[in-house]
């Protein structure tokens, strides 16, 4: 890598408008296939509303072509990879998919919530990943301190009891029930303000996406389903 380690990478990510989302060192076991020889991975994404304004102001957000957020992420993260001598990896574009949620758990104190999304101690369920930079050098990644999940002390489990079609009541995520609801008139609330189950969680509620960000992610979810049909 050209630069002086992790701090350089984190600061380069921040300068693009994305949010650095932690880093981890790979084990020998991890270093297979495309990841052969990769020693460190740094994640970039959005946290609460941070990151969204950079996308909203981008040419991709306004050009009317498909997959604006993915194209924006590619442009920024591939640019960083070129500048820093890294390999760019993305959560989209599969299957197969890179295991971003597993990588995230090695990078930041995030934990799986009962609805499948990772919960962050500060941002709650309001965060996501836009890409990763893979380095052949072992960067100076600090050890991740163990931290309890906010879900451990949440007896109410609001997230499991709020979905109007019970999409999380069977232990998994009933994607068809959710999408069916979103496509009908009763789905307007989730479509405009974001997933009701996600909004029911009190952790990081002040970081909930604003209307533009929430409705964009919900529309993107439905577009992706249509494209896969």
| Cβ contacts of 27 within 8 Å, gap of 6 or more | none
Whose Cβ is closer to ligand SF4: residue 54's or residue 177's? 177
Q: Which of 9, 71, 84, 69 is nearest to 43 (CA)?
A: 9
Could you tell me which stretch among 15-23, 75-83, 96-104, 149-157 binds ligand B12 (CB under 6 A)? 96-104
3-state helix/strand/coil string of 105-167: HHHCCCEECCCCCEEECCCECCEEEEEEEEECCCCCCCCCCCCCCHHHHCCCCHHHHCCCCCC
Q: Where in 136-155 is the site for ligand SF4 (CB under 6 A)?
A: 150-151, 154
- Residue 214 engages ligand SF4 in binding (rule: CB under 6 A): no
> Is the distance from CB of 73 to CB of 130 less than 8 angstroms?
yes
Which residue's structure tokens are 């079609």?
165
User: Under the criterion CB under 6 A, does residue 195 sit at the interface with ligand SF4?
Assistant: yes
Is 115 one of the binding residues for ligand B12 (CB under 6 A)?
yes
| Tokens standing for residue 211 | 């209307």
The yes or no reply on residue 117 touching ligand B12 (CB under 6 A) is yes
d(CA 182, CA 25): 40
Q: Of these partners, ligand SF4, ligand B12, none, which one is at the site of residue 62 (CB under 5 to 8 Å by kind)? A: none
Give phi and psi for 42, each to the nearest 5. Answer: -115, 130
From residue 200 to residue 229, the character string flagging contacts with ligand B12 as x (rule: CB under 6 A) and all else as - is -----------------xx--x--x-----
- Does residue 73 bind ligand SF4 (CB under 6 A)? no
Residues of this chain that bind ligand SF4 (CB under 6 A): 113-114, 119, 150-151, 154, 157-159, 163-165, 167, 178, 181-182, 190, 195-197, 201, 203
Residues of this chain that bind ligand B12 (CB under 6 A): 91-92, 97-102, 115-118, 127-129, 173, 175, 178, 195, 217-218, 221, 224
């Amino acid at each position: 890598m050209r630069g002086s380690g992790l701090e350089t990478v984190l600061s380069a990510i921040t300068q693009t408008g994305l949010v650095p989302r932690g880093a981890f060192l790979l084990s020998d076991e991890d270093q297979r296939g495309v990841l052969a020889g990769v020693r460190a991975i740094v994640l970039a994404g959005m946290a609460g509303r941070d990151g969204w304004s950079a996308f909203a102001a981008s040419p991709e957000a306004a050009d009317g072509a498909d997959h604006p957020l993915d194209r924006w992420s590619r442009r920024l993260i591939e640019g960083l990879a070129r500048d820093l001598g890294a390999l760019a990896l993305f959560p989209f574009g599969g299957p197969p998919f890179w295991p971003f949620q597993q990588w995230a758990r090695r990078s930041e104190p995030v934990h799986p919530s009962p609805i499948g999304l990772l919960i962050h101690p500060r941002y709650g369920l309001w965060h996501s990943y836009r890409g990763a930079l893979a380095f052949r050098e072992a960067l100076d990644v600090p050890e991740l301190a163990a931290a309890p999940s906010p879900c451990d002390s949440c007896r109410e489990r609001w997230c499991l009891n709020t979905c109007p079609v019970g999409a999380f009541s069977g232990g998994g995520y009933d994607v068809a029930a959710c999408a069916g609801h979103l496509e009908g008139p009763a789905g307007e609330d989730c479509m405009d303000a974001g997933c009701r189950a996600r909004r029911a969680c009190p952790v990081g509620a002040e970081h909930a996406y604003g209307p533009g960000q929430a409705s964009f992610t919900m529309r993107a979810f439905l577009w992706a389903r249509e494209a896969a049909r």
